[in-house]
């Protein structure tokens, strides 16, 4: 029964994210795992967590199968280890007073760990990423992604407590759940509102599209660049005719050129032609050769029509075993890991924490999976970024629902940062998002489009950006202390088996 509950809870939590977006399943899924591990030892709790994790990760990242079934199994199996850790922790803290609180703290604590270690972590599947278009989303501006994950987990753990309490005291159980919902939904009474805009500008996002089936960007990369040039020239013609307003700058997606535009003359001339046509800076997504001949850089380059290439942002979180190979020199790729031999160069990580300067506008950049990580976005917002852009190339996953999950994360970031978000994807999903998470403009996948919208530029830092990282750190520390106290207390309370008294034989 425990394993079946864990399995169903894992599937339910996966269904809470896009594409099904059954967000109301989140508290029930959390409660299911809490109940399934309650009363167990840490090891058996870990086994229950493993079952939960297998169900959750295979449901959530089913899209990884397009990379390879081995990639799906490997990533799901590794992520499941964190679910096992969660299961063990839940079993331990269930022995403590106020256990629903400690159970709730474990969720963001484990999310912080797997979002950071190893190889930079994998933050996909955080509870808060399922909160878009829900009443819980209002908390993002106040307590950030970590805080909303904590609130959702608290509702779930108190729901588990209510199930255990309802037979004894139905009123008490009901009041507990109502209190949890009241705390989690309190931000809806007064959602975070960005201050008065410093100014407003017009921006454009270009989705050039990928030829053919749409998922083979590397073998069609020159046509991909040509598509973005043509879409930008068409936008320039619309601007000249007065059909649309002239943008302050244009955003191209990641991999709008898959070769170094400083070394490839054809691509270089294409970018110059597009820049001259529109007459404003273009933020170009480009693969650039690194100083190390065995490495590459994934960059957003500000290309001015007059001065040429200027400010740059380098992707902070390349995908391990996808964009670089950890411990490459210790692996025999051709013999033991044949698929990894298809990645001849390692992508280097960027460290930039300052926003880009695009014609006087401070712009925070995030390239593809960067949008799921807090560090780079938060650093740029704290340093004065007035706008957030996401450059992404989801062509590999264009026939899956991964693009919808990433789009939801971009909308989460808009609320958390209190900024407009401009998303440019090679062939979907591109769009422009308001600070309250609403979609201002959106391009259909596998189409060519130029999205133009007026956006406000905001200053200041939301409480969510300031507090969110500290909520995660505090949760991690509290979770470790709670588990240690529970383990020590349990050992002290465990009865010591008494030694049998030997029978005395009396000789008469």
498 domain-assigned: no
Residue 503 lies in a domain: no
Instruction: For residues 238 and 105, state if they share a domain.
Output: no
Do 114 and 19 belong to one domain? yes
Residue 389 C-alpha from the chain's centroid? 15
Assign residue 418 the CATH number of its domain.
3.60.110.10
Residue 204 and residue 236 in one domain:
yes
Asked whether the whole model's pTM tops 0.75, one would answer yes
Whether 282 and 295 map to the same domain: the answer is: yes
User: 18 catalytic, yes or no?
Assistant: no
Residue 306 within any structural domain of the chain: yes
Residue 483 annotated as catalytic? no
Asked if 237 and 306 sit in the same domain, the reply is: yes
* Same domain membership, residue 367 and residue 392: yes
Helical H segments across 193-242, by residue range:
221-241
Any domain includes 508: no
Domains of the chain: total: 3
pLDDT digits (tens, 9 = 90+) for 339-369: 555 666 789 999 999 999 999 999 999 999 9
- The confidence score (pLDDT) of residue 126 equals 98
Shared domain check, 396 and 379: yes
Which of the following is catalytic: 18, 111, 315, 442?
Answer: 315
Query: Contact 297/323 with Cβ under 8 angstroms?
Result: no
Eight-state DSSP code of residue 271: H
- Answer yes or no: is 506 within a domain: no
> What angle in degrees, to the nearest 10, is found between the helix axes of 99-114 and 69-93?
150
Using CA atoms, how far residue 505 sits from 292, 499, 502, 508, in Å, is 86, 18, 9, 10
14 and 113 in a single domain? The answer is: yes
Q: Is there a domain that residue 329 lies in?
A: yes
Residues 388 and 434 in one domain: yes
Q: Are residues 152 and 108 in the same domain?
A: yes
Q: Is residue 504 part of a domain?
A: no
Choose the catalytic residue: 111, 323, 362, 368.
Answer: 368
Across the strands, what pairs with 320?
324
Residue 228 shares a structural domain with residue 141: no
Q: Can you give the pLDDT at residue 329?
A: 67
Respond yes or no: is residue 503 known to be catalytic. Answer: no
User: Are 122 and 156 members of one domain?
Assistant: yes
118: pLDDT strictly greater than 50: yes
Q: Is the pLDDT of residue 489 over 90?
A: no
Active-site residue, selected from the candidate residues 254, 323, 404, 442: 254
Q: In terms of residue numbers, what domain contains 323?
A: 318-349
Pick the residue with more confidence: 67 or 471? 471
Residue 91's CB is within 10 A of a number of other CB atoms, namely 27
C-alpha distances in angstroms, 215 versus 60, 209, 212, 490? 20, 10, 8, 54
pLDDT interval class at 508 (50, 70, 90): very low
Concatenating the DSSP letter of every residue in 102-118 gives HHHHHHHHHHHHHTTTT
In terms of pLDDT, which residue wins out, 81 or 492? Answer: 81
- In a domain, residue 395? The reply is yes
Distances (CA, A) of 182 to 91, 108, 146, 363, 443: 27, 20, 18, 36, 37
Q: What is the reported pLDDT for 83?
A: 98
Collapsing DSSP to helix, strand or coil, 303 comes out as: strand
Question: For position 24, what pLDDT does the model report?
Answer: 96
């Amino acid at each position: 029964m425990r394993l079946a509950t864990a399995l169903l809870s894992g599937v339910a939590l996966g269904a809470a994210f896009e594409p099904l977006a059954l967000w109301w399943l989140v508290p029930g899924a959390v409660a299911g795992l809490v109940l399934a591990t309650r009363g167990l030892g840490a090891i058996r709790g870990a086994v229950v967590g493993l079952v939960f994790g297998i169900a959750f990760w295979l449901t959530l990242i089913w899209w990884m199968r397009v990379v390879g079934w081995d990639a799906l199994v490997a990533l799901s199996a590794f992520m499941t280890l964190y679910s096992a850790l969660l299961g063990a922790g839940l079993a331990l803290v269930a022995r403590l007073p106020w256990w629903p609180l400690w159970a709730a703290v474990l969720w963001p604590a484990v999310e912080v760990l797997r979002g950071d270690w190893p190889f930079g972590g994998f933050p996909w599947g955080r509870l808060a990423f399922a909160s878009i278009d829900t009443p819980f989303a209002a908390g993002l501006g106040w307590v950030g992604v970590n805080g909303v994950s904590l609130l959702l987990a608290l509702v779930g753990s108190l729901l588990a407590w209510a199930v255990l309490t309802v037979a004894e005291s139905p009123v008490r159980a009901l009041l507990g759940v109502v209190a949890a919902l009241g705390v989690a939904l309190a931000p809806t009474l007064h959602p975070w509102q960005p201050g008065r805009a410093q100014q407003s500008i017009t921006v454009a996002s270009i989705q050039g599209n990928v030829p053919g089936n749409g998922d083979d960007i590397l073998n069609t990369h020159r046509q991909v660049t040509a598509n973005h040039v043509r879409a930008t020239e068409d936008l320039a013609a619309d601007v000249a005719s007065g059909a649309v307003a002239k943008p302050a700058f244009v955003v191209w997606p990641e991999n709008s050129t898959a070769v170094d535009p400083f070394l490839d003359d054809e691509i270089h001339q294409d970018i110059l032609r597009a820049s001259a046509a529109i007459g404003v800076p273009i933020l170009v997504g480009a693969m650039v050769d690194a100083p190390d001949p065995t490495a590459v850089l994934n960059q957003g380059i500000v290309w001015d029509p007059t001065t040429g290439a200027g400010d740059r942002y380098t992707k902070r979180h390349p995908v391990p075993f996808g964009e670089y190979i950890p411990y490459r020199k210790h692996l025999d790729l051709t013999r033991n890991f044949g698929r990894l031999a298809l990645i001849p160069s390692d992508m280097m990580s960027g460290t930039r924490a300052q926003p880009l300067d695009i014609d006087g506008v401070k712009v925070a950049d995030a390239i593809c999976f960067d949008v799921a990580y807090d560090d780079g976005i938060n650093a740029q917002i704290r340093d004065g970024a007035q706008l957030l852009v996401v450059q992404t190339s989801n062509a590999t996953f264009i026939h899956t629902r991964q693009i919808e999950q990433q789009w939801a994360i971009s909308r989460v970031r808009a609320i958390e940062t209190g900024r407009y978000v401009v998303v440019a994807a090679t062939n979907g999903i591109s769009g422009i998002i308001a600070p309250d998470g609403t979609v201002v403009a959106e391009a259909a996948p596998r189409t060519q489009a130029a999205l133009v919208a007026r956006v406000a530029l905001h200053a200041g830092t939301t409480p969510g950006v300031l507090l969110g990282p500290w909520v995660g750190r505090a949760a991690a520390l509290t979770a470790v202390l709670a588990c240690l106290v529970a383990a020590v207390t349990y050992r002290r309370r465990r009865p010591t088996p008494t030694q049998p008294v030997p029978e005395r034989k009396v000789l008469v």
